[in-house]
Chains A and B, each alone.
Chain A
Amino acid sequence: MHESNEHGHPHAEISHTERPGYYEIMETAVRELLVEKQLIGAGEIRRQIEVLDSRTPALGAKIVARAWLDPDFKARLLENGRAGCEELGISFYDDTGLIVLENTEKVHNLIVCTLCSCYPRPVLGLPPDWYKLKPYRSRAVSEPRAVLAEFGTIIPDDVEIRVSDSTSMVRYLVLPRRPEGTEGFTEEQLAALVTRDAMIGVIPANSPAAENAP
């Protein structure tokens, strides 16, 4: 992994020019009162923001690529998702468990949180808005084929679709199928084909042909 070049500089100008709104003022007030009462430390929020910023789908993609290349690792990952991630140096900053769901010729997995927005944040970062909104949460469990079609994903009728509903303690990650034509690819080349949405299960991993298309 190399440093991104465009995001190294601060974007502070914007945040100072607008008056904070009602809810932003409430957030600041609650946070400062908790610090004054010594219930949380002043630096903890800043440190946690750094942790949140460090979590992106690149971590999940690395896990998927390793699982494609190393059958023993894949077996351990499917046995205990969290331990498998930790084996690759990806720590969990909360006490959630992780179950990795493998897509096969016969099974396609999809993850959702019908009650709120539970998501494998340590390995994917924060969820997209659509994952947190009513249409996806309500329909993923009752009409997953229609939902997948809206993402452009058509699953053949003889492939079973399994939808896993996340909880505050158990999160899921989809292990997509390895695309055709990737024999001899390195871990980095494979990881580049694995998107966030493929690990949610709404699309397959990119094929190398699509990746090279202009």
Chain B
Amino acid sequence: MTETRALVERLPNDIGGVKSAPIQQVEHELLPWEKRCHALADVLDFHKIINTEEKRRGVEALGAEMVNALSYYERWIVAFANILFQRRVLTPTEVARKMDEVAARSDDTSPVAKA
């Protein structure tokens, strides 16, 4: 059995039965953006733009290194962007420009924003 055989037989998400650590019963209240990201996933599913299985495959397609390094909802939003690029719904340039705009806007408003 070669070292690479396991890579062929198991994609990053396919971990059922693999040896692993004791369970730490961790949980956290979702951050507002994480909850928005979850709602976005549901809305994309309702509109048949990205369904649950496509989302899962999109996360898997990030590769083991990114899957391990990013948090749960970080993986989701990157997967959504990639799928939307592949479908030509959005372009990387559009998203980059919009991200600059969002960042600049939050810099402008955060010191004066009040609850």
Residues of A within 8 A of B (CB): 10, 12-13, 15-20, 23-34, 37, 39-40, 44-46, 48-49, 51-52, 93-94, 112, 114-118, 126, 128-130, 132-139, 141-142, 147, 150-151, 165, 168-169
> Can you list 29 contacts pairing A with B, beta carbon distance less than 8 Å?
A10-B115, A13-B115, A16-B115, A20-B102, A23-B70, A24-B33, A25-B103, A26-B99, A29-B102, A32-B102, A33-B90, A34-B89, A40-B49, A45-B39, A52-B39, A93-B42, A115-B13, A115-B14, A115-B16, A118-B52, A126-B38, A129-B27, A130-B25, A133-B23, A134-B15, A135-B22, A138-B19, A168-B51, A168-B53
**On chain B, which size bracket covers the interface?**
35 or more
Docked complex Cα distance between A180 and B114 (Å):
53
A39 contacts B114, CB within 8 Å? no
Docked complex Cα distance between A52 and B43 (Å):
12
Check B62 for interface membership: any CB of A closer than 8 A.
Answer: no
Q: Which residues of B contact A49 (CB under 8 A)?
A: 35-36, 39
Docked complex Cα distance between A28 and B44 (Å):
14
B15 contacts A137, CB within 8 Å? yes
Check B78 for interface membership: any CB of A closer than 8 A.
Answer: yes
Query: Residues 73-115 of chain B: 1 if any A CB is under 8 Å from the residue's CB, otherwise 0?
Result: 1100110110010000110001100110111001100100111
CB distance from B104 to the nearest CB of A (A): 10
Q: Which residues of B contact A32 (CB under 8 A)?
A: 98, 102
Docked complex Cα distance between A147 and B25 (Å):
11
Q: Which of B59, B98, B113 has the most CB of A within 10 A?
A: B98
Q: A115-B56, A116-B59, A135-B23 are in contact. Are A27 and B40 (CB under 8 A)?
A: yes
Chain B, residue nearest A116 (CB): B56
Q: A19-B110, A23-B77, A25-B103 are in contact. Are A138 and B39 (CB under 8 A)?
A: no
B38 contacts A52, CB within 8 Å? yes
Check B37 for interface membership: any CB of A closer than 8 A.
Answer: yes
Chain A, residue nearest B71 (CB): A23
A141 contacts B89, CB within 8 Å? no
Docked complex Cα distance between A94 and B82 (Å):
23
